[in-house]
Amino acid sequence: MAAALSMTCAICQAQLRSVQEAQEHAELTGHTDFSESTEPVLNLVCRSCGKPCRTKTECDLHTRRTGHEDFEDKTNEAAKPISLEAKTEDMASTEEATPSADEGVDLVVLEVNKEMLEELEGMGFPHARAVRALHFSGSSSVEAAINWVVEHENDADIDEIPKVPASEDGKQHHYTPEEAKAKMMELRERARKKKEEEEKRMEREREKERIRIGKELQEAKRIEEENERKRLIQLRKAEKEEDQRAREKIRQKLEEDKAERRRKLGLPPEEAPKVQPSPPAEEKKSFVPVRPASKAEQMRECLRGLKQNHKDDDARVKKAFQTLLTYIGNIVRSPDEEKFRKIRVSNPTFQERVGSLRGGIQFLEICGFQKGGDDFLTLPRDKVDIAVLNSAGSELNSAISNPFFGVL
């Protein structure tokens, strides 16, 4: 036969872990009819604060009060067999010490804390149920009485006022109104301090969690910025390599065109420059000849300088590039139109878009525009070089379409 793991009160169906708990239950309630049970007493422990709960109702109340929802079932760990000998002896002594109604003992209505009783009745609890709850919860607090009502609301005798022998009732301690009020204030103060401690503990936990999440977000942001930086470096490197390849192709094309023109003119192929022998160490020059920059290179550097000088205002720089492209395009399409080759420097629109930006007028001068004494920039008809203007248009298109122009 399986060993008994708990004791069940036949009157209120309360499950008790040991004979000692059964004795305490009997002393508190007057119930003396107990039976052995192989079902262990539930032991559901809150993972957040460690509070044990014996029933699902206790778990629900704890969740409503604290918000804790995660419980660990430790029923099997806490379950222990009950000694039958101890049970027999203890129950016998309990039954001997507890007089029954059949012995003709006078029963009287139990007295409870009046202020707590009035508070419960003010909440809507029936008088008998409130008295019963205060009695069986030990009149410790209104909250404990409410918990008892919730757990025993299905009891058949829930609305019966409990009675005890007159001699036992006389032994109870009766508080004066002042003592009862002081006791209630003490219990409430104790509950308030406990709640404050719990809130402080939870706030510390929340602060730790906030710090942990903050560090994780900072680390994730750092990694993302590092990856973005590497990606930009790769893009810039690829842009430089593409630009270098494009220049090489243009150079090769120019060489091929030059050779083709010489062939059509019947000229012999251009000889490769002879490599002069290196002079003796003492005759070597201390300088390296510098090739003059081409018009296209001068334009590119001018546009880069313009963007660098105004790097905080990309929209304004882009508008300047587009305005310059419009000037150059008009001249290429209609080189004989004087109005396209003449720009009033003091014009507000010109000043806003080009003239006020350092490098704007310099770019036009590289294209062939000249400053006159009559507040005009003029490109003489005989100075119009379509090849130079086409190069200027190419550089401006590249500056507008290349997102990394002026950044590299």
Residue range 261-297, pLDDT digits in tens? 878 777 777 665 555 665 555 544 444 455 566 888 8
Residue 259 domain flag: no
Total domains in the chain come to 2
User: How big, in percent rounded to 5, are the helix, strand and coil portions of the chain?
Assistant: 60, 10, 35
What is residue 230's predicted lDDT score, i.e. its pLDDT? 93
Residue 81 domain flag: no
Mean pLDDT across 53-64:
80
CB 332 within 8 A of CB 393: yes
Residue 329 sits in a domain whose CATH number is 1.20.58.2190
Q: Which of 10-19, 79-88, 126-135, 228-237 has the lowest mean pLDDT?
A: 79-88
Q: What is the distance between the alpha carbons of residues 399 and 318, in angstroms, rounded to a whole number?
A: 8
Got the DSSP string for 313-354? -HHHHHHHHHHHHHHHHHHHH-TT-GGGGEEETT-HHHIIII
Structure tokens of 46?
């809150």
- What's the chain's average pLDDT? 78
What is residue 97's predicted lDDT score, i.e. its pLDDT? 44
Q: Are strands 71-73 and 342-344 parallel, antiparallel or unpaired?
A: unpaired
Residue 144 domain flag: yes
Residue 250 domain flag: no
What is residue 402's predicted lDDT score, i.e. its pLDDT? 81
Residue 316 domain flag: yes
Residues in a beta bridge with 370 = 378
Residue 106 has pLDDT above 80, yes or no: no
Residue 375 domain flag: yes
Q: Who contacts 293 (Cβ-Cβ below 8 Å, separation ≥6)?
A: 301
Q: Who contacts 148 (Cβ-Cβ below 8 Å, separation ≥6)?
A: 133, 136, 137
What is residue 227's predicted lDDT score, i.e. its pLDDT? 92
Residue 36 domain flag: no
Domain span at 112:
103-174
Q: What is the distance between the alpha carbons of residues 221 and 224, in angstroms, rounded to a whole number?
A: 5
Phi, psi of 370 (to 5 degrees): -125, 145
The domain boundary residue, chosen from 152, 174, 196: 174
Torsion of CA 386, 387, 388, 392, to 10 degrees: 90
Residues in a beta bridge with 287 = none
Mean pLDDT across 145-153:
82
Q: Where are the beta strands (DSSP E) in 18-174?
A: 34-37, 44-46, 52-53, 71-73, 107-109, 163-165
Residue 153 sits in a domain whose CATH number is 1.10.8.10
Report DSSP state, residue 249: H
Q: Which of 2-16, 118-132, 195-209, 255-269 has the highest mean pLDDT?
A: 195-209
Residue 310 domain flag: yes
Interval 396-406: pLDDT, tens:
888 888 877 76
Band (pLDDT 50/70/90 cuts) for residue 202 is very high
Angstrom CA distances, 264 to 240, 250, 251, 259, stand at 36, 21, 20, 9
Interval 230-272: pLDDT, tens:
999 999 999 899 899 999 999 999 988 888 887 877 777 766 5
Band (pLDDT 50/70/90 cuts) for residue 330 is very high
Q: Which of 29-43, 164-178, 255-269, 337-351 has the highest mean pLDDT?
A: 337-351
The domain boundary residue, chosen from 134, 152, 174: 174
The domain boundary residue, chosen from 174, 196, 213: 174
